[in-house]
Chains A and B, each alone.
Chain A
Amino acid sequence: MTENLKGYKGKGKELLEKNKIEIWDIIQIKTSEGDYEGIVLPRTEYSAPDYIEIKLENNYNIGINASDIKEIKKIGKKEAHYKIPEKKFPTSKNLPNIILFGTGGTVASRLDYTTGAVIPSFTPGELFSAVPELADICNLETEIVFEILSENMRPEYWQQLAQKVEKAANSGKEGVVIGHGTDTMGFTAAALSFMLRDLSIPVVLVGSQRSSDRPSSDAALNLINATTVATSDIAEVVVCMLGSSAHDYGLIHRGTLVRKMHSSVRNTFRTIDDIPLGIIRERKIKMFKKDYRKRNKLETKAQTNFEKKIALIYSYPGMNNEIIEFYVDKGYKGIAIAGTGLGHVSTEIYNSIERAIQEGITILMTVQTLHGFTGMNVYSTGRELINMGVIPGRNLLPETGYIKLGWVLGQTSEPSQIKKLLLENIAGEFIDREIPIAFNYNIDQLLKDKKL
């Protein structure tokens, strides 16, 4: 019984139990203020106790305080079980074969209008009925790899994804699209970039900032753009999401240089330290950069070893030695630090950093300014850190630094090898030179600039 009254607490729950009323029952209620009729709805865990929530006939939901209810009566039941009618996804010999891996984000979905729950639609047939344009771009296959929130991603999942891509590429798929929650899409993009050093086809991560249950969603457009990029000649791990607040163009970002920069807007992803690889508008791709890996016939190999005992910490004023000590005591193998300015931490924690390095922990310095390079030779404090053995991470984003550290430590435990690999440009994470417009690029200007 209790399980059927999900989310109900206090007097509301008591009253429903006493009258043997369950969720989805149609009930009539008489209160001192008026009479109501509706379907009993499940309630969220964090809502106020004592209320009973119903969907009225006019489809509005309301809550009624159980203390005011004089009479309550069950008159029927209406439980909903819905299924999207599947249309067959049309295939054509002339179109490339693309596979879409699902990880839990919803690129297409439908609504349960009663609870507002979003039910992801994912089979090619379901996707075809939601975004029929896909059939003009490719032959689509889909596979749900996991169903998790993106904040719950783990290194094991990156490894699984990399292996899935390897298999897809080597079995003749011409491109991979990965549907992913946007929160940690940057991490996954970086992880796959390192794990798939040898890649023959495009791997495109895509998501939506406005869920696909609303008419203004960016999901369909992002999916159309991403699928198109998956058929292109860019054999790299990229993120493809809207490049402006308008439903206009998508940007193609290199997986190791991309970051989510806003908690909610559609154009939240930006390439940091460089300009985006290219732009996609109305299914046409224009490249801003030429130095990307082209589609090739080589075998795709996934190098998925990854050291999980690593941490990413943020440097801040007032930081205490204990923070670093903790990781040392717990046996961590590496720490990426998002340092202040050019790559600094408070001199008050130098002791613990020195101790960490002596105990064989790799410390990689990145910049919390996100833009720009570490410059650890500019001030004496920076030089001191270098002398201790801190490795300057050049222009690495803190997140990419964290991923690279885990990947490198997964490949070798030999200190000189670790340092060598960390300083080697493995997946386009290092830029040779920061072009002046990189900090503040404007897409309209990039489109006008013929030299790019």
Chain B
Amino acid sequence: MEEFDYEKLGLLCGLEIHQQLDSKTKLFCRCPNKLQGTREPDFTLKRFMRPVLGEMGTYDEAMLTEYEKEMTIVYEGYNDVICTYELDETPPFECNDEARKIAIEIALLLNSNIIEEMHVCRKNYLDGSVPCGFQRTMILAKDGYLELENGKKIGIDILCLEEDAARKIITEEKTNFFRLDRLGIPLVEITTKPDITDPMECRECAERLGLLVWSTKVKKVLGAIRQDVNVSIKAGTRIEIKGVQKLDWIPILINHEVSRQLNLVEIKEELQKRNLKEEVLPEKPIDLSKVMAKTKCSFIAKGIKSKKKLYGINFTGFDGLLGKELMEDYRFGTEIASKVKSISGLKGLIHSDEDLKNYKFSDADIKTLKDNLKTKQGDCFVLVIGNKKELDKAFNVIINRVKYAFKGVPPETRRALDNGNTEFLRELHGGARLYPDTDSQAIINYNEEIKVIKGDLPEYPWDVIKNYSKKFKIEERFIKDLIFTGNLTIFNDLIKIYPENPTLIITTLLETSTALRRDGKNIENITETDYKDIFTLLKKKEIGKEAIEEMMSLKADSPELSIEQIKEDLKIESISVEDLKNIVNEIVENNLDLIKEKDMRAMGPLMGEVMKKVRGKIDGALVSKELKNALQIKLKELK
């Protein structure tokens, strides 16, 4: 990672957090708030979206871009959890009160002012993720703050209560498939002010926001929280990065984005230095299909033979610029190519800053290209192959993007990739896509109601972490993990049952369950009651702690069994210390040769033997102690 002086660059970041609420039903209909995972859908439905004329009689740029992709949308639904509302066939029902109250609680924890009369607004989306073409959203609170560990306050701009969009399953050719189970789940969107000035600070802020919402009644499963980061530097522009999956990505993404913006600014300066002007850029590509029909580059030759076209364009004076690296392993050429792919669907843009020999172009090919495109020393050309319609779109994108190089960094929404880079996702949505929802009434948040919620706010999670760490003598990170895995409430219950070993409870909830999940066990089958039953048995010394993992594993496989039944199935009966002593002595007597040979080192193998007989029935530490005793006595005797 390159080092930057972020303060000098004028780095400003903001965060946008989306969190699903755990209300019983959805926000505007009474369908259950339940995701269906990989379950096969019951029905599908094909739709198309059209852009809507804005108030100035023009179309929103981002909506047009989406429309030009000419995508078909297929919705997949389930008869038992989807109703005609999600299909955009019935007007909305009343706003879910439970969800509204959870959102108010979060807003109050963020010290925000609650809006008294909320007006449901529509936010247009043309990508198909919402069947009606807009998301219903309302601003619930504004102007709050979140305090960081060092006392710095990060402003909270607004908190919105809105509907989650449908889940995108797959894109096949020109069709996007969306699953409707997620659509309409209540969501809070929290937007901070651009008060964050450092990548690590941004990470901390995101983590704190996450901890805070997870201490309320929200969905605590993978994917239930999503975060976007806004990044800008003084010389660049504001870029929205969507889909940041992990907290640890945040500093890297910001670093790479700063690098990208700085390099785009450098290109702009270089263009000035080279005395080039935007106006001299060509307006149209040149059709090279005829002259390149016999190229040595086989995929192009094949393409032309199958009636595809090869278009090229020459950019005077651009030599070396498309090859300039903007981020790690990402050149200006990559940037143009990924935008072309996103809008026209065409993959594989070739430019002359690359080694053309890699594409198997012959010298004659290269000469033909240069001659036809009138490429001179110091120029750069770009080639794309595809059908005419796609190519028209592609070259429109290429020319406009190259033109923007004269201005610097184009404002856009980008998608986070897991190597810390980003790619073009869509144009930045303009304000002209938010308008009142004519289907619903205003919703009033009464002062009395707010007061009640205020009087019952949970403790701040970072205080919980400090206090628990001190009280139970556990590292802070484990408590944090309990919150982030949604296990804090269970921990609170279990510690009451079994206060003698907080670490064991944490290991069970965090490590054992993770290990079982990795083994493919469906640990969602283990309920809070099951955990309580297990630890009650442990407390009563009816099982040893070694039995926990096996019991969890069985419960995960057979959710219909109770913990008591599992205990019986496993024939777990606790044995007395007296019994243990007898077993130990028996094994020691049976292994005298081994003991003679290995001395105290026989401890290991013998422990295994004993554990085979008593596993889960008595504490392993006790077994070890008794075996060591017996061994020492035996060895003394033998000597």
Contact = CB atoms under 8 A, between A and B. Distances in A.
Interface of A: 31, 33-35, 47-48, 51, 53, 56, 58-65, 68, 80, 82-85, 109-116, 118, 121, 129-130, 210, 212-217, 220-221, 245-248, 264-266
Given A34-B113, A58-B158, A264-B84, A63 B119 contact: yes
28 contacts: A33-B113, A53-B119, A53-B442, A59-B434, A60-B119, A60-B121, A60-B138, A60-B158, A60-B160, A62-B115, A62-B117, A82-B55, A85-B58, A111-B52, A111-B53, A113-B54, A113-B55, A113-B434, A116-B122, A116-B436, A210-B132, A212-B52, A214-B133, A215-B63, A216-B131, A217-B50, A247-B46, A265-B89
Nearest to A213: B52
A221 B50 CA distance: 10
Given A214-B133, A245-B45, A64 B117 contact: yes
B117 to A, nearest CB: 3
Contacts of B115: 62-64
A213 B87 CA distance: 17
- The 9 residue pairs across chains A and B that have the minimum distance between CB atoms: A63-B117, A215-B133, A116-B436, A110-B53, A34-B113, A84-B57, A59-B434, A61-B119, A216-B133
Interface residues of B, number: 54
Given A34-B143, A216-B133, A83 B57 contact: yes
Contact of A62 (B57, B118, B125, B131): B118
A215 B55 contact: no
Nearest to B49: A215
A83 B138 CA distance: 28
Contacts of B143: 34-35
B191 to A, nearest CB: 9
Contacts of B54: 110-111, 113
B142 interface: yes
B599 interface: no
A109 B46 CA distance: 24
Interface string B56-85: 111000010000000000000000000010
Contact of B57 (A53, A56, A82): A82
Which of A60, A121, A130, A213 counts the most chain B CB atoms within 10 A? A60
Contacts of A116: 122, 435-438
Contacts of B253: none
Contacts of A61: 119, 121, 436
B86 to A, nearest CB: 11
A343 to B, nearest CB: 33
B14 interface: no
B193 to A, nearest CB: 12
Interface string B287-308: 0000000000000000000000
A214 B117 contact: no
Contact of B88 (A31, A80, A210): A210
B47 A216 contact: yes
A114 B89 contact: no
Interface in B102-119: 113-119
B126 A215 contact: yes
A59 B50 CA distance: 22
A46 to B, nearest CB: 8
Contacts of A114: 55, 435
A245 B114 CA distance: 39
Which of B91, B119, B138 counts the most chain A CB atoms within 10 A? B119
Given A62-B139, A84-B53, A246 B121 contact: no
B497 interface: no
Nearest to B89: A265
Interface in B215-230: none
Nearest to B46: A246
Contacts of B89: 245, 264-266
B438 to A, nearest CB: 5
A47 B440 CA distance: 11
B132 A214 contact: yes
A110 B52 contact: yes
B271 to A, nearest CB: 34
Nearest to B158: A58
Given A80-B55, A215-B50, A248-B46, A113 B117 contact: no
B132 A246 contact: no
Contacts of A111: 52-55, 435
B90 interface: yes
A48 B117 contact: yes
B484 to A, nearest CB: 30
Contacts of B138: 60
B177 interface: no
A85 B133 CA distance: 24
A244 B68 CA distance: 25
A61 B440 CA distance: 13
B124 interface: yes
A264 B87 CA distance: 11
Contacts of B63: 215
A40 to B, nearest CB: 14
Contact of B48 (A82, A115, A221): A221
Contacts of B84: 264-265
Given A130-B53, A264-B84, A266-B89, 15 more contacts: A48-B117, A59-B431, A60-B434, A63-B115, A65-B117, A110-B57, A111-B54, A215-B49, A215-B51, A215-B125, A215-B134, A216-B132, A220-B50, A245-B45, A264-B89
B357 to A, nearest CB: 46
A391 B231 CA distance: 77
Which of A61, A84, A210, A217 counts the most chain B CB atoms within 10 A? A61
A221 B137 CA distance: 27
B435 A51 contact: no
B280 interface: no
A56 B121 CA distance: 12
Nearest to B85: A264
B432 interface: yes
Nearest to B134: A214
Nearest to B126: A215
A300 B52 CA distance: 38
Nearest to A121: B53
Nearest to B430: A59
A382 B357 CA distance: 92
Contacts of A214: 52, 122, 132-134
A452 B431 CA distance: 52
A58 B442 CA distance: 18
Nearest to A266: B89
A147 B172 CA distance: 44
Contacts of A115: 436
Contacts of B436: 61, 115-116
Contacts of A221: 48
B170 interface: no
B444 interface: yes
B51 A264 contact: no
Nearest to A212: B52
Interface string B561-594: 0000000000000000000000000000000000
Contacts of B49: 215-216
Contacts of B432: 113
Given A216-B132, A246-B45, A247-B47, A58 B431 contact: yes
Contact of A53 (B50, B114, B117): B117
A215 B45 contact: no
B227 to A, nearest CB: 19
A264 B91 CA distance: 8
A130 B53 CA distance: 7
Interface string B135-162: 0011100110000000000000010100
Contacts of B434: 58-60, 113
A366 B391 CA distance: 61
A60 B142 CA distance: 11
Contacts of B441: 47
A247 B56 contact: no
Nearest to A43: B442
Contacts of A48: 117, 442, 444
Given A60-B138, A213-B52, A214-B52, A113 B435 contact: yes
